[in-house]
DNA sequence: TGCCGCTATGTTAGCGCTATCATCCCGTGG
DNA sequence: CCACGGGATGATAGCGCTAACATAGCGGCA
């Protein structure tokens, strides 16, 4: 009977030691060619690269992470993947992080602070080097977890007026106010607002609209609609129905996002309501389709690519241990005045 | 001068040993309460749970993964996050995997086999327990990496007729043929096809359409349009222009996806082209908005939630080391005949 | 010539966790 | 009364990698 080692737990995979043996060098030299090639002579490096290719070696992330206390990952939590805003933000983040050697761990919170907390707890086990969150409304426990993790955090989409945390985004309230101003400037007075899925950003947009409407003496609660349901084109159809029942003389409707506005637009076509003659329609977010609807939709574009880029850039600064020039970056917004108003 | 330990690399984080010390037990008992609570007596378990809560302990994923040779992660590669099809598939996958303790590592291949290969290489370092891919057209190196990883693989969206690999999806060619059949049945004869971003599934749909059109003696190359650009609503507008220039007498257009069809619909409204009177419009994928456009869009719904569920279920079978009842699952499709045809 | 300092490479000792084997304790049956 | 079995708990030794320190080898300068 052959003497079997009692504690054999080898995984059977190609390891760094295998590569080192093949190249006739020590393990650390292999590690160095991968991590900091400049420290290794060209000759050795070539030999090692050849061995890596021959054996098909793939470095073990867990071992590296454990030994170096750097995971090379960044957690990114967004409220939705069905929304082009967040998808494009993710794309922009990736464009910054990937070339610098970081991988994204993506989590979908579904607009729920509780789910955000659960997701964060799960991803925190990966010891991320940095964390990107959407919005500023975290639960107390989430905040505690973040503090305990030791990883730098950047908040996206909203901006933190207090400067207590790092944030990159747009002023949602100002954007809501801007659209209200635009509609008033075009001569509309009986302007309705449709709010759904009342996340903090929606609330802020509505607050901006309300303020401007009150200041203009045009605010009427009957035109201030809301639904707790998640946003969708179909819900826009429903909400238009509700608006027409509740305040049929409205001459404009500001939808808290473009999906909703599309639904409103489609239902107006179906009912033969002239847009913008009889009813003006405005949205928020400038989805790709909004430039092509009939009529083309007036909406507000927030710089989602810029937000992703800047947030990722800011995070890399923090992860490098540097103190950023500014902790709060307001990237503004753009009102796209098109044919629907 | 205090004697400093020469090799101090402690991360300062709360570790399992800290929890064990606090609870007055050995480290392994803490590990067991987390991994297999049944093996630990209720009294000890309670004491340990309390210590975990007091210290705010979060298990280190890397260390666990290294020691157990199980990472608890599943890599999921999709061609796009801007497409509701894949987002809903991801949601369905998560619904299956999360409760069973797996985390998703999401990668966006942007419809490029080369990017798929690069992403896979990066994620493979995490030693995933399983892999979910979209489509069947992997590069040779991707296939080699998959084989070398030892992790079970399930392909989604398309179905592999040879049965060589596990796959869950719909017959794309049959779906394309079905839509062609539907349009013919409604009396249309001069039916165009608009293809963009020629991934294999688009090609297959087109192949199905071509076959049926040829069999009916209606196939005309002038109505067979294609563009290499990525799909978008705006591209639909452009492609309709091209169609009207190239084959103005077409009486129906089958778009390879709904985004495109929406663009076509909007442009028809703008030009005053009656749909479906003068031109019928059909799409593919049944995006949420398609049920609400004016007119409501005829399209094909593939069971993306079902595909995600079944693929994840199949993968869990394979990861558990079981042999699944069937390696290939065709979930079919549904033709949604609405007002636009 | 001998000493210095620098670069290229190697040795050692963990990182935090779990697999494996060892031990302990208690009730049971001969 | 003691060997025995089985459930609960513990000790030990890695998993694959890198930080920290060690060393070899070489050129330059006094």
Check if residue B114 sits with its Cβ under 7 angstroms from strand D.
no
d(CA B71, CA A61): 10
d(CA A56, CA A70): 24
* Pair B292, A237: CB distance under 8 Å: yes
A115 burial level (CB within 10 Å; 0-12, 13-18, 19+): middle
Same domain? For A119 and A165 the reply is yes
Same domain? For B284 and B247 the reply is yes
Query: CATH number for the domain including B271?
Result: 3.40.50.2300
Q: Which nucleotides of C are covered by protein (CB under 7 A)?
A: 8-21
Residues 32-71 of chain A in contact with strand D via CB under 7 angstroms: 34-35, 57, 59-60, 63-64, 66-70
With a pLDDT cut of 90, the percent of chain A lying above it is: 94
Q: Does the pLDDT of residue A1 top 70, yes or no?
A: no
Protein B10 CA to nucleic acid C13 C1', in Å?
12
Q: Give B69's contacts in chain A (Cβ within 8 Å).
A: 9, 11
Q: Does the pLDDT of residue A6 top 90, yes or no?
A: no
Q: Does the pLDDT of residue A282 top 50, yes or no?
A: yes
Q: A139: Cβ–Cβ under 8 A, 6 or more apart, which residues?
A: A113, A114, A116, A117
Is there a domain that residue B113 lies in?
Answer: yes
Is there a domain that residue B234 lies in?
Answer: yes
pLDDT at res. B10? 73
Same domain? For A185 and A297 the reply is yes
Nearest to A294 among B9, B126, B270 (CB): B270
SS3 A209: helix
pLDDT mean over A315-324 = 94
Q: Give B283's contacts in chain A (Cβ within 8 Å).
A: none
* Pair B205, B173: CB distance under 8 Å: yes
d(CA B224, CA B36): 60
Q: A202: Cβ–Cβ under 8 A, 6 or more apart, which residues?
A: A195, A196, A256, A257
CB contact under 8 A, B58 and A294: no
CB contact under 8 A, B9 and A69: yes
The β-bridge partners of B142 are none
Protein A67 CA to nucleic acid D25 C1', in Å?
30
Is there a domain that residue B341 lies in?
Answer: no
Size of interface A-B (CB pairs under 8 A): 131
Q: Which nucleotide is nearest to A67 (CA to C1')?
A: C15
CB contact under 8 A, B266 and A294: yes
Same domain? For A41 and A121 the reply is no
pLDDT in tens, A173-185: 999 999 999 999 9
pLDDT at res. A4? 36
Protein B28 CA to nucleic acid C24 C1', in Å?
16
pLDDT in tens, A195-245: 998 899 999 999 999 999 999 999 999 999 999 999 999 999 999 999 999
Is there a domain that residue A228 lies in?
Answer: yes
Structure token digits, residue A243: 């608006």
pTM of this prediction exceeds 0.75: yes
CA–CA distances in Å: residue B68 to residues B30, B35, B198: 15, 11, 43
Nearest to B292 among A62, A124, A237 (CB): A237
Among B59, B88, B111, the domain boundary falls at B59
CB contact under 8 A, B66 and A66: yes
Is there a domain that residue B205 lies in?
Answer: yes
pLDDT mean over A53-65 = 95
Q: Give A122's contacts in chain B (Cβ within 8 Å).
A: 103
Q: Give B103's contacts in chain A (Cβ within 8 Å).
A: 122-123
pLDDT at res. B8? 63
CB contact under 8 A, B289 and A71: no
Q: B297: Cβ–Cβ under 8 A, 6 or more apart, which residues?
A: B258, B261, B262, B265, B281, B282, B283, B290, B291, B338, B339, B340
Nearest to B232 among A124, A126, A288 (CB): A288
Protein A98 CA to nucleic acid D18 C1', in Å?
22
Is there a domain that residue A139 lies in?
Answer: yes
* Pair B193, B256: CB distance under 8 Å: yes
Same domain? For B197 and B282 the reply is yes
CB contact under 8 A, B292 and A82: no
Give the domain extent around B148. 72-169+305-332
B250–chain A nearest CA distance, Å = 22
Q: Which of B69, B76, B122, B126 should one mutate to test binding to chain A, selecting the residue with the greatest count of A CBs within 10 A?
A: B126
Q: Which of B35, B66, B148, B339 should one mutate to test binding to chain A, selecting the residue with the greatest count of A CBs within 10 A?
A: B66
Nearest to B59 among A59, A123, A125 (CB): A125
Is there a domain that residue B9 lies in?
Answer: no
Same domain? For A102 and A125 the reply is yes
Q: pLDDT by residue for chain B (341 residues), tens digit each?
A: 233 344 466 777 899 999 999 999 999 999 999 999 999 999 999 999 999 999 999 999 999 999 999 999 999 999 999 999 999 999 999 999 999 999 999 999 999 999 999 999 999 999 999 999 999 999 999 999 999 999 999 999 999 989 899 999 999 999 999 999 999 999 999 999 999 988 999 999 999 999 999 999 999 999 999 999 999 999 999 999 999 999 999 999 999 999 999 999 999 999 999 999 999 999 999 999 999 999 999 999 999 999 999 999 999 999 999 999 999 999 999 999 999 99
pLDDT at res. B12? 79
For residue A8, name the pLDDT band (cuts at 50, 70, 90): low
CB contact under 8 A, A108 and B124: no
Q: A84: Cβ–Cβ under 8 A, 6 or more apart, which residues?
A: A285, A287, A288, B82
Protein A41 CA to nucleic acid D26 C1', in Å?
15
Same domain? For A180 and A286 the reply is yes
pLDDT mean over A154-162 = 94
Protein B309 CA to nucleic acid C2 C1', in Å?
76
Q: Give B127's contacts in chain A (Cβ within 8 Å).
A: 13, 60-62
Structure token digits, residue B189: 């004869």
B251–chain A nearest CA distance, Å = 22
Q: Give A65's contacts in chain B (Cβ within 8 Å).
A: 62
CB contact under 8 A, B87 and A91: no
CA A113 to chain centre: 15
Same domain? For A162 and A179 the reply is no
pLDDT at res. B324? 93
Query: CATH number for the domain including A29?
Result: 1.10.260
Same domain? For B290 and B309 the reply is no
Protein A38 CA to nucleic acid C5 C1', in Å?
20
Is there a domain that residue B6 lies in?
Answer: no
Same domain? For B214 and B273 the reply is yes
Q: Taking all residues of chain A, what is their mean pLDDT, rounded to a whole number?
A: 94
Say if strands B334-336 and B299-301 run parallel, antiparallel, or are unpaired.
antiparallel
Domain count, chain A: 3
B193–chain A nearest CA distance, Å = 21
pLDDT in tens, B119-162: 999 999 999 999 999 999 999 999 999 999 999 999 999 999 89
Same domain? For A228 and A161 the reply is no
Q: Where are the beta strands (DSSP E) in chain A?
A: 73-78, 103-108, 130-134, 153-157, 166-169, 191-196, 224-227, 252-255, 280-282, 299-301, 328-330, 334-336
B179–chain A nearest CA distance, Å = 24
CB contact under 8 A, B259 and A87: no
Structure token digits, residue A98: 């990937």
Same domain? For B207 and B155 the reply is no
């Amino acid at each position: 009977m052959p003497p079997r080692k009692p504690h054999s737990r080898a995984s059977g995979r190609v390891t760094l030691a295998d590569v080192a043996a093949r190249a006739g060098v020590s393990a650390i030299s292999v590690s160095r060619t991968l991590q900091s090639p400049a420290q290794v002579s060209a000759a050795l490096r070539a030999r090692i690269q050849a061995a890596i290719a021959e054996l098909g070696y793939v470095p073990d992330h867990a071992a590296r992470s454990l030994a170096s206390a750097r995971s090379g990952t960044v957690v990114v939590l967004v409220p939705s993947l069905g929304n082009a805003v967040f998808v494009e933000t993710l794309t922009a983040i990736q464009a910054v992080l990937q070339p610098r050697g970081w991988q994204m761990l993506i989590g979908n919170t579904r607009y729920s602070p509780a789910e955000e907390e659960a997701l964060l707890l799960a991803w925190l086990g990966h010891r991320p080097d940095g964390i990107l969150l959407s919005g500023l409304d975290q639960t107390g426990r989430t905040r505690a977890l973040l503090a305990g993790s030791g990883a730098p955090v950047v908040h996206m989409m909203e901006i933190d007026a207090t400067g207590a945390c790092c944030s990159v985004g747009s002023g949602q309230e100002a954007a809501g106010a801007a659209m209200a101003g635009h509609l008033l400037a075009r001569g509309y007075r009986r302007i309705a607002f449709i709010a759904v899925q009342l996340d903090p950003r929606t609330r802020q947009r509505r607050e901006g609209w309300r303020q401007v409407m009150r200041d203009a003496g045009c605010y009427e609660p009957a035109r201030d609609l809301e639904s707790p349901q998640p946003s969708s084109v179909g819900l826009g159809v429903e909400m238009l129905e509700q608006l027409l029942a509740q305040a049929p003389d409205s001459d404009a409707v500001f939808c808290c996002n473009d999906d909703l506005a599309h639904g409103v637009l489609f239902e107006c076509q179906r009912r033969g309501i002239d847009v913008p003659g009889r009813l003006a329609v405005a949205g928020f977010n400038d989805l790709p389709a909004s430039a092509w609807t009939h009529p083309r939709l007036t909406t507000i574009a927030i710089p989602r690519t810029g937000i992703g880029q800047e947030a990722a850039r800011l995070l890399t600064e923090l992860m490098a241990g540097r103190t950023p020039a500014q902790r709060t970056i307001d990237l503004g917004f753009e009102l796209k005045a098109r044919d629907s108003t």
